[in-house]
Each structure stands twice: as structure tokens, then as C-alpha cells.
Amino acid sequence: MYIESLRTSAQKQGNIVCLGLDPLPEHFPFEELPPAQRVIKTFETLFDRMITRSLYPAAFKPNIGYYHRLDRPREGNFSGSKTLAQVLTMIEEAFPGVPVILDAKRGDIASSSANYAQEAFACWKADAVTVAPYMGSDSTGPFVSWCEKGKGVYILNRTSNPSGAELQNLELRDDAGGLAPLYMTVARAIAESAARFPGCGAVVGATNPQELGRLSAFYASKQVPLLIPGVGGQGGSAGVTVRTLSQSGYPIDLARINSSSGITHPWVKQKLAPPPDWDRLSTDALARLIEEISREF
Ligand SMILES: O=c1ccn([C@@H]2O[C@H](COP(=O)(O)O)[C@@H](O)[C@H]2O)c(=O)[nH]1
């Protein structure tokens, strides 16, 4: 079951880091290679260095858009899709048993959602996928039912982006006549799905620690996996995130704290080209994140 694979991998690796793999080949080393090969060579080298330095994250999260944008299907070029396939195989071989979350943020009418679920689980063989909640339960249902087959589904709950509050924090009247933000209504729906389908989880950003605290307290006794993006590049703090989870009594081993660009290409934020020791920079950033999280773990 997905929940078990989260527990096992957290225990084995001793951390709850999720390494995001969102390639920007134009900012990657190996510039003599075509973009797709540059991605493969960069991640191959990174994985090698990670193993040499015993840096083992407890999940990986490729975002599908970064790969598909390298395809030129009308020209018969599927190099982005092939790259994603190869990266998934590389993870499986180098880090066996570590869950892979495909960040695809799907969600449609039921019959179309069923096809998108096939895309994530049957085509890409991902362990988990991200899904948007706003078309309702018949839209998330075809994904969530895959939890019975051992897959995981993370439903967007309170996202990390600056505009996330525009809709997600709209106040609704609750059953008791008080006001509560929409993300709490979504949280209740996620908890209901998780009670029937263990492996159904929530995406909650690290950029709003108070809201993360409220949600992790709500989920604390409900066995709802949390995927927490927004540390590093977006300004969230890994240390604050782990402390927030601990203080709310949330079972830490079910959480995954994601960092993508802050690990795989930290030089881009400073508008720099990849330096000659890019692999040391990347693995240092990963080592710091693992350290920061393990200290509080
Ligand atoms: O609320 C959300 C949901 C998903 N994401 C995704 O996570 C990574 C974050 O990348 P960084 O480079 O670490 O900022 C990216 O794939 C987003 O699409 C998110 O950031 N926030």
C-alpha cells in the first residue's frame, strides 16, 4: 500500500525529503548535448554523486510539464516523454522502493479523469499523482479508487503559490454557522476519501506555516499523507515545516517535503550559468535539506 511505502522509505532513508525533478535543460550543464540528453546526463551524474555521498531522499517528484514541453509531437519528436520514461527507470534502478510522485495536477469529468488516472498509473507507472479538487468528487474519484491497488493520490488543498489564497481562502459558512476557509472544506473531502481509500493525501504548501499547522492538526489522526512543496525556491523553510508538523502531532513519516529547483539548479535563481562544480552545489543543497529535516525528525 502507498502509505506503507511512505513509512518504509522514511524509516530506511531517515528523512522525509522529496527531490523534485523539474529539468530546465537550457540552464543545465553538458551544453554540447541536445536538450533531452542534457537532462539525462545531468540527472545521471546527480544520482551518481548522491549515491557516492549517501544522500537518499524519501521520494522523487517529476513535474510532467517540464518533460512534455521538450516534445515536438507534430514533428515526430517525443524526446521529452522519452526523457521522463528514462528518468523514472533511473530512479527505480538507483533508488529502489523510493516512491515517485508524478506531479500532473489532473482532474476532469469522471470518464476523462479515468483516462488521466491510466496515464499516471498504467502509462507512467507512477506510485502517486497530484490531482485538482475543484471539479468535485466524481472528478477525483477515478484517481482515488487506484489507492485500492496501492497507489497514492495527492489532492491540492492549500497550494504554495502567492495567488493560492484567492480562491482557497474564500470564507464559507460551516455547519455550526461559523466561517471557515474553502481549503478546510476541501480538507474534509480529502479526509473522507482517505478514510475509504488509504493513500489519498493532500498538497499543502510550506509557504504558509499557519495554514500548514491548521491542516496538519486536522489530519493528525487521519492517516492522510501530506506533500509539502514550497521550500527553498519559494521561500518556505524546511525546519519550520517539520516543527509545525511535530507540534500539530502529525505522523511525520507520512509527510514529504519537496524541493526542486533549489536542488537541481540552484544557480538559476542567481541568474548564473551552471558552474563547473554544479554537482557539488546540488548535492550540498540536498545534504543541507536532509540535515535540516533530520535534525527535527
Ligand atoms: O502548491 C504547489 C503544488 C505543486 N508545486 C510544484 O512543486 C514544485 C516546486 O518547485 P520548486 O522549484 O521547489 O519551487 C514544482 O514542480 C511545482 O509545480 C508547488 O510548487 N506548489
Separation of 139 CA from ligand 1 center, angstroms?
Answer: 22
Question: What is the CATH code of the structural domain delimited by 2-20+57-66+97-296?
Answer: 3.20.20.70
Query: Does ligand 1 have an atom closer than 6 angstroms to the CB of 261?
Result: yes
**Model pLDDT, residue 295:** 78
Separation of 248 CA from ligand 1 center, angstroms?
Answer: 23
Could you tell me which of 238, 258, 189, 239 has the C-alpha nearest to residue 218? 189
Separation of 128 CA from ligand 1 center, angstroms?
Answer: 15
What are 205-256's pLDDT values in tens digits? 999 999 999 999 999 999 999 999 999 889 999 999 999 999 999 999 999 9
116 and 143 Cβ atoms separated by less than 8 Å: yes
39 and 87 Cβ atoms separated by less than 8 Å: yes
What is the ipTM for the molecules in this complex? 0.99
Q: Which among 105, 125, 222, 271 is annotated as catalytic? A: 105
**Model pLDDT, residue 255:** 98
Q: Which atom of ligand 1 is nearest to 234's Cα?
A: 14
> How does strand 200-204 pair with strand 179-181?
unpaired
Best probe residue, ligand 1, of 208, 234, 268 (max atoms within 8 Å of C-beta): 234
Separation of 229 CA from ligand 1 center, angstroms?
Answer: 5
178 and 129 Cβ atoms separated by less than 8 Å: no
Query: Does ligand 1 have an atom closer than 6 angstroms to the CB of 211?
Result: no
pLDDT by 10s per residue, the chain, length 297: 999 999 999 999 999 999 999 999 999 999 999 999 999 999 999 999 999 999 999 999 999 999 999 999 999 999 999 999 999 999 999 999 999 999 999 999 999 999 999 999 999 999 999 999 999 999 999 999 999 999 999 999 999 999 999 999 999 998 889 999 999 999 999 999 999 999 999 999 999 999 999 999 999 999 999 999 999 889 999 999 999 999 999 999 999 999 999 999 999 999 999 999 999 999 999 999 999 998 776
**Model pLDDT, residue 297:** 65
Residue nearest to atom 16 of ligand 1 (CA): 63
Which cell numbers in the block locate residue 230? 514550497
**Model pLDDT, residue 100:** 98
253 and 6 Cβ atoms separated by less than 8 Å: yes
Query: Does ligand 1 have an atom closer than 6 angstroms to the CB of 168?
Result: no
Identify whether 125 is a catalytic site residue. Answer: no
Instruction: State the DSSP string of the chain.
Output: -HHHHHHHHHHHHTS-EEEEE---GGGSS-TTS-HHHHHHHHHHHHHHHHHHTT---SEEEEBHHHHHTT-BGGGTB-HHHHHHHHHHHHHHHHSTT--BEEEEEE--SHHHHHHHHHIIIIIS--SEEEE--TT-HHHHHHHHGGGGGT-EEEEEEE-SSGGGHHHHT-EEE-TTS-EEEHHHHHHHHHHHHHHHSTTEEEEE-TT-HHHHHHHHHHHTTTT--EEE--BSTTSB-HHHHHHHHHHTT--GGGEEEEESHHHH-GGGTTT-PPPTTHHHHHHHHHHHHHHHHHHH-
21 and 103 Cβ atoms separated by less than 8 Å: no
